[in-house]
Amino acid sequence: MLLSVSVGEYLKSLFFDRLPFFPDNIRISLFIIMFCLIATIEIYLYVFLKKAKNKRDNYLNANWKEKISNMLSNIIIYGDEDDGLENVVNHFLPRFKKLPLKRKRVRNILIEEIRIYHSNFTGFTADVLKELFIKLELHKYTLEKLKSNYWEIQIEGIREIAQFWLYEYDQLVFALTDHEHEIVRMEAQTAHVRLNRDNPFKFLDHMRGRILPWHQLILFEIITKAKYVKIPSFVKWLGSRNDSVVIFCLKLIGYYQQLDALAEIVKLLKHPQEEIRKMSVWVIGKMEAEFVEEELLKIYPKETQKVKLEILSALGKISSGNYLSFLKDCLLTPDFEIKMGATKAILGHGRKGKLMLQELQSVVSAKNSQIIAHVLDARI
């Protein structure tokens, strides 16, 4: 008791009476001590209040989630095409309407669960889920999200529109493709591709800046998975000055095997960008375009290492057999990767290639013979 009184007295004299007479550094120290103590106490309070709130939130969320996912599972397995979409949805609608959807927590969980289910199913199940989404008028909240001041909320809205194929809002999404925030722009473009039936690839015409690999990856996924997207001939963008657009279109051309683009792709073999040349060679290999082989061989000697390897791999895929002797000669170069690439390309020629490698194995140098053994081993 006595001690605490005297400590209090001491602190009082320290901070009030004696403060002006201390040297600078001591005064500053005293201020810093005060600051640190107050800040620490505040953080303590914050951490524990937050913790209590989170605990309650988690508990409530888990309960609602359980309930909602059970309801959704029931609607998913209930009935099939013969029962008719309307009937199935109407059967369950009253139950869903009883949920307190005015409450943000419940609404968000419901939207999220419907979205996840919808993204996992196609066909009748997906249609039922969409119908439910609309009938519950959840799309109204989606529109609100689009107008939000927070970009991450806007993105949520965009994603819902794309997920549920809400075609009527396509224009709203399109407006966001010029959004100041980069990620919103990207999401809007992606959604637009999914929704627009007439000209989904318009954005490629006036793409500002580079399409990041991440964006390309998502776009590629959307384009190749979406059923209603009209696939244009991507050759018209190969002349684009935007290198990333060219690369992206090459990927798509390869995926859709658009053979009519080959003539343009051959021209790209002279492109100043290494990445584009490499990608072009990859597409040629993927399409197994035999008549371009000669062209590939012509550029080979002057090419960079990466493109050379791609050419060898392309020759292996085309596997016309016309250039086996060239591939064999590649084994004479000192470069390990080239040798390996050439050997793999020979193996790409099927039985013929395999026989050739087996024959070669006994006549080539020890190192080359090791490479051949490596390539011939199916386990590696």
Partner 1 sequence: MEAGFYFFEQIFNSAIFYFALVVMASYIFLCFFSALEMKAYMRKNSFIDYREILVSPFAPSVSILAPAYNEEATIVDNVKSIMSLHYSNFEIIIINDGSKDHSLEKLIHAYQLEKVDFCVNEQLNHQPIRGIYKSRNSSYAKLIVIDKENGGKSDALNAGINVSSKDLLLCIDVDCIVEQDALLKLVKPYLEEKKRVIATGGVVRIANSCEVEDGRLVKVHMPKNIISRFQVLEYIRAFLMGRMAWSRLNGLLIISGAMGLFDKEIVIKCGGYSHETVGEDMELVVRMRRYMHDHNLKYQVVYIPDPLCWTESPVDFKILGRQRNRWTRGTIETLWTHRDLFFNPKYSILGMLSYPYWLFFEWLAPILEGIGIITFILLASFGKINWEFSLILFTMVYTFSILLSTIAVLFEERSYHQYTSGKDVLKLLLLAFIEPVVYHPLTIYWSIKGNIDKFTGKKNWGTMTRAGFTSNQKNKLEPSSAQNLKTKQEQSA
Partner 2 sequence: MARILLVEDEELMLKALEFRLKKDEHEVEIAKDGREALLKIQSADFDLIITDIMLPFVSGLEIIGKVKQTPHLAKTPMIVLSAVGLENVVLEAFELGVDDFITKPFNLTELTIRVKKLLKK
d(C-alpha 3, C-alpha 7), whole Å: 6
**Does 26 help bind partner 1 (rule: CB under 8 A)?**
yes
Binding segment for partner 1 among 70-78, 99-107, 124-132, 213-221 (CB under 8 A)? 213-221
Residues 6+ apart with CB under 8 A from 142: 157, 160, 161, 166, 169
**Does 8 help bind partner 1 (rule: CB under 8 A)?**
no
Residues 6+ apart with CB under 8 A from 288: 317, 318, 319
d(C-alpha 88, C-alpha 75), whole Å: 7
**Between 10 and 121, CB nearer to partner 2:** 121
Among 152, 260, 294, 329, binds partner 1 (CB under 8 A): 152
Least distance to partner 2 from the beta carbon of 123, Å? 4
Residues 6+ apart with CB under 8 A from 216: 244, 247, 248, 251
Which 220-239 positions form the footprint of partner 1 (CB under 8 A)?
Answer: 220-221
**Does 274 help bind partner 1 (rule: CB under 8 A)?**
no
Q: Which amino acid is at 298?
A: K
Partner from partner 2, partner 1, none contacting 26, C-beta within 5 to 8 A by type: partner 1
The string over 38-66, giving b where at least 16 C-beta atoms fall within 10 Å of a residue's C-beta and e elsewhere, is eeeeeeeeeeeeeeeeeeeeeeeeeebee
**Between 223 and 356, CB nearer to partner 2:** 223
Partner from partner 1, partner 2, none contacting 81, C-beta within 5 to 8 A by type: partner 2
d(C-alpha 334, C-alpha 327), whole Å: 14
d(C-alpha 159, C-alpha 137), whole Å: 17
Binding segment for partner 2 among 118-126, 175-183, 204-212, 234-242 (CB under 8 A)? 118-126
Binding segment for partner 1 among 37-45, 74-82, 160-168, 346-354 (CB under 8 A)? 37-45
Return the SS3 of 264. Answer: helix
Q: Contact residues for partner 1 (CB under 8 A)? A: 14, 23, 25-26, 28-30, 32-33, 36-37, 39-40, 43-44, 46-48, 50-51, 54, 152, 155-156, 159, 183, 210, 212-214, 216-218, 220-221, 251, 336-337, 340, 367, 370-371, 373-374, 377, 379-380
Q: Contact residues for partner 2 (CB under 8 A)? A: 69-70, 72-74, 76-77, 80-81, 113, 116-117, 119-126, 225
